[in-house]
Amino acid sequence: MSVNREAVKAAPKDERKLRSDTITTGRFATLLLAAVSVLVSLVLLELACRVLLSGPGSLAHWPNLARERMGTGPDVARIRCQYAFDAEIGWTSPPGCVSRTYNVDADGFRRTSPKSALAEPPVLVTGSSFAKGDEVKDDETWPADLQSLTGRKVVNAGVSGYAFDQSALSTERLVPKVKPLFVVMSFTPGDIRRSELKVAWSREKPYFTVTDGKLQEHNVPVPGQPNAPVPLPEPARWLGRFALADLVVQRLGLQRGWYFDEVRGAPAGSGEAVVCLLMPRLAALGVPVVVMAQYSREYWTQSAARRAEDQRSVDRVMGCARTSGLIPFDLARPMQPIVDAKGVDALYRSDHHSAEGNRIVADLVLRELERLNLVSRMGVR
């Protein structure tokens, strides 16, 4: 009987190749299964996130959430009234806008719901998103609560995203128009830093530099056109449609460089000096101006060192306000025991105050205004 020696020699090689191919196929199948599992898990998490945050209707509607958050999406008028181009300040709330998020009257102010005739002249509230009252309904903002507590008209001219310099410019423009009894101008520690920027939230804005102790204004008229699209960073273009990504970004505070870009105009660290030099301009308006520091959820949850740095910056600004004849009011100290007692979650939503948090802020503000004899609680003389 003859033996095929070549076949005998080849057999071990074929077996080794078969085993190798089997191992490779198994590894590939394992990786594929893992990838599919991750993908399915992400899809399920995305769907659950959409339903929980926005309701079942969001499963059929997948806009770029980054564009909507920045006020540039196709459904912005329906979802949120935010950001109309302004050549002097950068942007304002669009007059007469009605949306799911909040509503703006014909003068560009956030609406309130008065239950009776209101006393005038009004109180003018200016500032950024903590003045406007992001994340709550129109009648759940602290200016709306202050109006209910006093029975006096409160004009809510807060605009999301404003730096301190923009809030000051807005206050200068609105005081002659509104003719208020007094002004409460709200700001956060972040608003001081943003005064150093020429582009904030991917939008051009005015900014100031300091030369020989004097302010020099730049970037005015502000470049841009009404209804022009705002460029988004690459991550937002790819991931902006996913509610899960939006939630993660908000929770981790990764917005900068993801949903928006920033470009510096003034030197780093000069924001405090700019803000201090704006104080005499506010004092020259001819009405009392309360300069009030507000704080985000992040302030209470960040490290002690970062909180101390924020407080140092606010303290300097408050000192400049006092020296200029303005009325400084820092909410950090009266809020501290309330945060300790109730917890951050009761007072804040993702970053801004909850309805309960705003009620507490309104009460603290009113107590200070009563102490200053600027206004009284309704029914109290």
Mean local confidence (pLDDT), 321-329: 98
Q: Residue 146 and residue 144: Cα distance in Å, rounded?
A: 5
State mean pLDDT over 359-364: 98
Structure tokens at 313: 């910056």
What are the C-alpha distances in Å from 13 to residues 4, 7, 17, 20, 21? 15, 10, 6, 10, 12
CB–CB of 188/132 below 8 Å? no
Domain CATH for 219: 3.40.50.1110
Measured CA to CA, the distance from residue 298 to residue 130 in angstroms comes to 13
Does residue 243 belong to any structural domain of this protein?
A: no
Same domain, 296 and 357: yes
Question: Do 212 and 295 belong to one domain?
Answer: yes
Q: Indicate whether 11 pLDDT > 60.
A: no
One domain, residues 53 and 127: no
CA-based nearest residue to 148, from 139, 138, 156: 139
> Mean pLDDT across the stretch 90-100?
91
The answer to whether residue 147 scores a pLDDT higher than 70 is yes
Mean pLDDT of 10-25: 65
Q: Which residue has the higher pLDDT, 68 or 347?
A: 347
Same domain, 221 and 286: yes
Three-state secondary structure call for residue 278: helix
pLDDT value of residue 263: 95
Highest mean pLDDT among 17-26, 107-116, 289-298: 289-298
* Residue 69 near residue 90, CB atoms below 8 Å: no
In a domain, 261, yes or no: yes
Residues in the chain: 381
SS3 182: strand
CB atoms within 10 A of CB 328: 19
Over its C-alpha atoms, the chain yields an Rg (Å, rounded) of 27
- In terms of C-beta distances under 8 Å and separation of at least 24 residues, what long-range contacts does 222-227 make, across chains too? 222/85, 222/86, 222/87, 222/88, 222/89, 222/90, 224/85, 224/87, 225/85, 226/84, 226/85, 227/85
What pLDDT is attached to residue 14?
Answer: 62
**How does residue 27 score in pLDDT terms, banded at 50, 70 and 90?**
confident
Distance CA 307, CA 117 (A): 42
Between 22 and 144, residue with greater pLDDT? 144
**What is residue 380's predicted lDDT score, i.e. its pLDDT?**
56
> Are residues 141 and 24 part of one domain?
no
307 φ, ψ (degrees, to nearest 5): -65, -40
* Alpha-carbon torsion (370, 373, 378, 381), positive or negative: positive
Q: Does 381 have pLDDT greater than 70?
A: no
- Model pTM? 0.83
pLDDT of residue 64: 74
Q: Estimate to the nearest angstrom the gap between the alpha carbon of 378 and the chain centroid.
A: 32
**Among 22-26, 29-33, 171-175, 308-312, the least confident range:** 22-26
Clarify whether residues 142 and 48 are in a common domain: no
**Confidence tier at 208 by pLDDT (50, 70, 90):** very high
Reported as a single tens digit per residue, the pLDDT across 153-203 is 999 999 999 999 999 999 999 999 999 999 999 999 999 999 999 999 989
Same domain as 38, residue 158: no
Tell me which of 98-112, 165-179, 264-278 is least confident. 98-112
Across residues 254-275, what is the average pLDDT?
Answer: 90
Tell me: do 129 and 29 sit in the same domain. no
Rounded to 5 degrees, φ, ψ at 281 are -65, -40
pLDDT (0 to 100) of residue 71: 62
% of the chain at pLDDT higher than 70: 90
Q: Which of 167, 95, 76, 97 has its CA nearest to residue 130?
A: 167
Task: Indicate whether 302 belongs to any domain.
Answer: yes
* Structural domain boundaries, residue 30: 16-59
Cα–Cα separations (whole angstroms), residue 304 to 1, 164, 308: 90, 24, 6
Is the pLDDT reported for residue 68 higher than 80? no
Q: Does the residue 66 lie in any domain? A: no
- Would the pLDDT of 63 be above 80? no
For residue 221, whether the previous peptide bond is cis, meaning omega lies within 30 degrees of 0, is yes
* Res 313: pLDDT: 98
Three-state secondary-structure class, residue 94: coil
Give buried/exposed letters for 8-34 (b at 16+ CB in 10 A, else e).
eeeeeeeeeeeeeeeeeeeeeeeeeee
Is the confidence at residue 44, as pLDDT, over 80?
A: yes
Any residues with CB less than 8 A from the CB of 303 and at least 6 apart, and which? none
If asked whether residues 159 and 298 sit together in one domain, one would say yes
3-state secondary structure of 330: strand
Which amino acid makes up residue 122? P
Provide the number of structural domains found in the chain.
Answer: 2
Determine the pLDDT at residue 117: 82
Please give the pLDDT value at position 15. 65
Determine the 3-state secondary structure of 155 from DSSP: strand
Q: Is residue 307 part of a domain?
A: yes
Residue 6 lies in a domain: no
HEC per residue, 119-149: EEEEEEEECCHHHHCCCCCHHHCHHHHHHHH
279 and 175: one domain? yes
Establish if 128 belongs to a structural domain: yes
Indicate if 173 and 260 belong to the same structural domain.
Answer: yes
Mean pLDDT of all residues belonging to the chain? 89
Confidence of residue 123 (pLDDT cuts 50, 70, 90): very high
Residue 242 in any domain: the answer is no
pLDDT for position 361 = 98
Neighbour count for residue 47 (Cβ, 10 Å): 15
Structure tokens at 70: 């920045």
* Whether residues 358 and 279 fall in one domain: yes
